[in-house]
Chain A
Amino acid sequence: MRGAFLRRVGEAALLVGFVVATCFVLIRLAPGDPFYGPLDSATWSAEQAAVQRAQFGYDRPIPEQFLRYVWRLAQGDLGWSHARGQPVAEALATALPATALLITSALTLAFLLGIALGAWQGWRRESRLARLTDLASLTVLSIPEFLLALLLLIGPATAWGWFPTGGLRDPYLPANAGVLLDRLRHLALPTLALALPIMAVVMRLQAGATTAVRDAEFIRAARARGLPDRVVLRVHALRNSLIPALTYAGVQLSTALGGAVIVEGIFSWPGMGRLVVEGVGRRDYPLVAGAVLIAAICTVLGTLLADLALLWADPRRRRPS
């Protein structure tokens, strides 16, 4: 058991290393660099840029740069963000909580609601309402993510004015006003935009699995013991149909990070997504590397968590002790 765990951690570390190395190389292969200004720029002369490049070591071979990067990383130094004019660690420290909040709330909403609705829908497959929700999930799935975010921005935010159009908080909020409510109002639309497509998939997976387990012998046996229908669904059917949704959850953290790039852009959410877009655009090598490192670690942790959840859901996967 312990050996398996250590092997797993080793694999994860290898994966993170591979992802960071790939991005490290790819962004250096893209044209330009942090000191490559527009031709008519008054800021940098070619000579000044060359001096800067040499100062940050960008004129050396890429493998050497990578080794230097890893060496500094080992000492806890993520480098200097040229775009932000501050250490990468500081830039990430301000952006990460905003994204974590957005993704956590979106994934929680998507999975809790998706599993609940999907289980109900699969259990009552023949009812009219179930068919309606099935259609609704299909509709959401067929709308591209960015369009969904834009629709939310145009409708509830701009036209009807129920929600703010962007940002993390209201800068002009009077002191002692409802801070929590203000935060929630700002969080609502981006969360929804990120959660809805994931929720639609979770719902469909869960509905399919619930329908499949609905006619299982052990469900019939539970009924024969006199259990009420809702208990049979909640206790026996649900846990035995969670596996597809949990498996999907394992890969969702990375997808959500990708989705956050779009959603954060549309709702001016000051998170990692916007940071990465800015970093890539300005060839801010250290910032991109730092962001990718964080994303890779999150993805690996996500799959690890999902695997643990699968062990909980299905005792047959556990090794005999």
Chain B
Amino acid sequence: MTEPTAVLDVRTLGVRRGGLALALDGVSFRVDRGERIGVVGHSGAGKSTLAGALLGLLPRGAQLTPQSELYLGGDAMHRADARRWRAARGARIGLVMQEPMLALDPAMRIGAQVAEAATAHGVARDDADARAIDMLAKVGFGDPRAAARAYAHELSGGMRQRALIAAAMLMRPAVLVADEPTTALDPTIQAQVLDLLDALRAESGTALLLISHDLALVSERCDRVLRLEQGRLVEDDAAATVLARHRIAEYRHAETAPPRPSPEAAPPVLDARDITVRYGRVEAVRGVSLALRAGEALGVVGESGSGKSSLAHALLRLVPIAEGTLRLGAGREGAEPIDLGRLHGEALRRARRRIQLIPQDAGASLTPHCTAESLVAEGLEVHGLARGAEALRRARALLDELGIDAALAARRARQLSTGERQRVAIARALAVGPEILVCDEPLAAVDEATRERIIAVLETQRRGGLALVVISHDLPAVERLAPRAMVMYLGRVVEQGASATVLRAPAMPYAQALVSAVPTGDPAATRRRIVLQGEIPAPASPPPGCAFHPRCPHPQKDERCTSERPSLVPIPPLESEHHAACWKLPLPPSR
């Protein structure tokens, strides 16, 4: 009843999951051989439910509605029993999931997990092992035999995702569902993984269903885009058409008015000089300096492992500072300037009221069984700013400002959505009235709407005089939030200056690669993109000379790059305060 070419034919697919509203409602679409289809939508729109339904892996308690029809290569899977589903999964339809750290069995070697995909479908053990090794080589493991013997925790996020792709593609399925495959990865690694998916797809004729919250990314990589909204399919069109309609590209490239810097005369509220952080012999941060005045914001960008989070923790003295000085300036309410680097015990605890952190994965930093309002009130009580009913009242008022109403505020943290939890975490940091807020990846894994909301909240606070340090992979967001930015690589600042320069026209090759990895929605961008080879080296043994030289794509890199470390030098015009560390910069007029 279906045409022979459709590898996947979905008709009036619906999923009921308790309650009255359907998680998916009347979704129909068709996928042809080798096609690249993007699926976009806000969180809760039904993207992951769709992925589950296509693989017959719906969560407990969820089921297909009676009118749902699902044909996989012509087979009516909506009528299939467990056995037929099992035979189809992994062989004819594969899945790559969002969190590579969680999607691999921590107690089983990588090779065995990849080979499982073959043995599950009747391939003999030896043959399966051999195929797994071949596949691991194909997805980019230099030494596939070593990779096969490794455990998940011994691999980086990007390599883990490659291993999962190897497992999903081992049997060359007709359809591969990739559910946010790169959301948890660095932008530079993201490009590598997407290129890999596309190469495998082209080679084996597998159709790719790329699920993502990022329309720009999907538009670059897909021919057609499906958009879901509240469980319904609201758009099914050519990628360019959908993108144009949403004008995401326009908003991404909008010249956001850079926030006015505060008067130069004001002394900095945070002054960090030559900060070095060591974990044993590993130097995670090497001589980083930064200064912030009230109402200023500084963006910090770089791959995972570049030392961004260690820097954030050092600024709060959550990790010991091995070298360098860290001072808080004279605060509001006449607080004394303090040498944060030398404080201990009670004095340090009290000083932390003035500098607060929104930790990475902030939603998970909330104790799940506590209510949102009690979590925010806790900070007020700990710092003796308010107690009991008064603390709760102030907590509710603050949460309300951040768009968490009284009903939500009374809920427990585990009952809130990711975006709501993120805002509760921000409220908790803001509650004690800090002068400096350090945000570590405040926008990771949140959908577009939540992202806008969080940006608006932080922006309002900054206008109110809060100094911000924004650490993020999300370069466009950093540019909107912070007038100044610095790029880190292996613990050092390699470029810094105005965000408009550093994040758009950077001078040194690493920053250029980082910036070019940002999805723009233009498929041509994937060709212009500088895809870095390999991954950031282990901070325990940084390469000599310029730490970036082994991955540097610069055509003229030479002896000096591999032996001598470049320091930050100003780039003309000098008043721009643009600095970069690279031997191949255009020479300044006079030094």
Size category, A interface: 20 to 34
**A19 at interface, CB cutoff 8 A:** no
Closest to B90 in A: A226
Within 8 A of A (CB), among B12-26: none
**B410 at interface, CB cutoff 8 A:** no
Residue contact A315 to B57, C-beta cutoff 8 Å: no
Q: Which residues of B contact A304 (CB under 8 A)?
A: none
Residue contact A314 to B89, C-beta cutoff 8 Å: no
Interface string of A194-236 (1 = CB under 8 A from B): 0000000000000000000001111011111111110100011
Interchain CA distance A315-B153 in the complex, whole Å: 9
State which of A217, A228, A239 has its C-beta within 8 Å of the C-beta of B86: A228
Q: Which residues of A contact B59 (CB under 8 A)?
A: 215
Q: Which residues of B contact A228 (CB under 8 A)?
A: 86, 120
Given contact pairs A227-B116, A228-B120, A221 touches B103 in the complex (Cβ within 8 A)? yes
Residue contact A225 to B106, C-beta cutoff 8 Å: no
**A65 at interface, CB cutoff 8 A:** no
Residue contact B153 to A316, C-beta cutoff 8 Å: yes
Interchain CA distance A227-B94 in the complex, whole Å: 12
Residue contact B97 to A231, C-beta cutoff 8 Å: no
Residue contact A221 to B97, C-beta cutoff 8 Å: yes
**A130 at interface, CB cutoff 8 A:** no
Residue contact A225 to B57, C-beta cutoff 8 Å: no
Interchain CA distance A216-B59 in the complex, whole Å: 11
Closest to A236 in B: B105
Interface string of B70-109 (1 = CB under 8 A from A): 0000000000001000111111001101010011111110
**A240 at interface, CB cutoff 8 A:** yes
Interchain CA distance A231-B86 in the complex, whole Å: 12
**A23 at interface, CB cutoff 8 A:** no
Interface string of B152-194 (1 = CB under 8 A from A): 0110000000001001100000000000000000000000000
> Which of A226, A227, A229, A313 neighbours the largest number of chain B CB atoms within 10 Å of its CB?
A226
Given contact pairs A224-B89, A226-B120, A218 touches B55 in the complex (Cβ within 8 A)? no
Residue contact A226 to B88, C-beta cutoff 8 Å: yes
* Min CB–CB distance B590 → chain A (angstroms): 50
State which of B99, B106, B117, B164 has its C-beta within 8 Å of the C-beta of A316: B106
Residue contact A221 to B164, C-beta cutoff 8 Å: yes
Residue contact A226 to B104, C-beta cutoff 8 Å: no
Residue contact A224 to B57, C-beta cutoff 8 Å: yes
Given contact pairs A218-B106, A315-B106, A225 touches B88 in the complex (Cβ within 8 A)? no
Closest to A126 in B: B60
State which of B55, B87, B102 has its C-beta within 8 Å of the C-beta of A224: B55
Residue contact B106 to A222, C-beta cutoff 8 Å: no
Residue contact B121 to A220, C-beta cutoff 8 Å: no
Interface string of A291-321 (1 = CB under 8 A from B): 0000000000000000000000111100010
* Min CB–CB distance A230 → chain B (angstroms): 11
Interchain CA distance A320-B105 in the complex, whole Å: 18
Q: Which residues of B contact A226 (CB under 8 A)?
A: 86-91, 117, 120-121
Closest to B171 in A: A226
**B151 at interface, CB cutoff 8 A:** yes
Interchain CA distance A149-B95 in the complex, whole Å: 53
Residue contact B94 to A224, C-beta cutoff 8 Å: yes
State which of A215, A229, A231, A240 has its C-beta within 8 Å of the C-beta of B105: A240
Within 8 A of A (CB), among B93-144: 94-95, 97, 99, 102-108, 113, 116-117, 120-121
* Chain A interfacial positions (CB closer than 8 Å to B): 126, 215-218, 220-229, 231, 235-236, 239-240, 313-316, 320
Q: List 5 A-B contacts (CB under 8 A).
A: A218-B102, A218-B105, A218-B106, A236-B108, A314-B106
| 8 closest cross-chain pairs (CB), A and B | A226-B90, A224-B95, A217-B102, A225-B90, A226-B89, A225-B117, A226-B120, A221-B103
Name 12 extra pairs, CB < 8 A, besides A220-B97, A221-B167, A316-B106.
A215-B59, A221-B97, A222-B116, A224-B95, A225-B89, A225-B94, A226-B121, A227-B90, A229-B82, A231-B120, A235-B116, A239-B108
* Chain B interfacial positions (CB closer than 8 Å to A): 55, 57, 59-60, 82, 86-91, 94-95, 97, 99, 102-108, 113, 116-117, 120-121, 151, 153-154, 164, 167-168
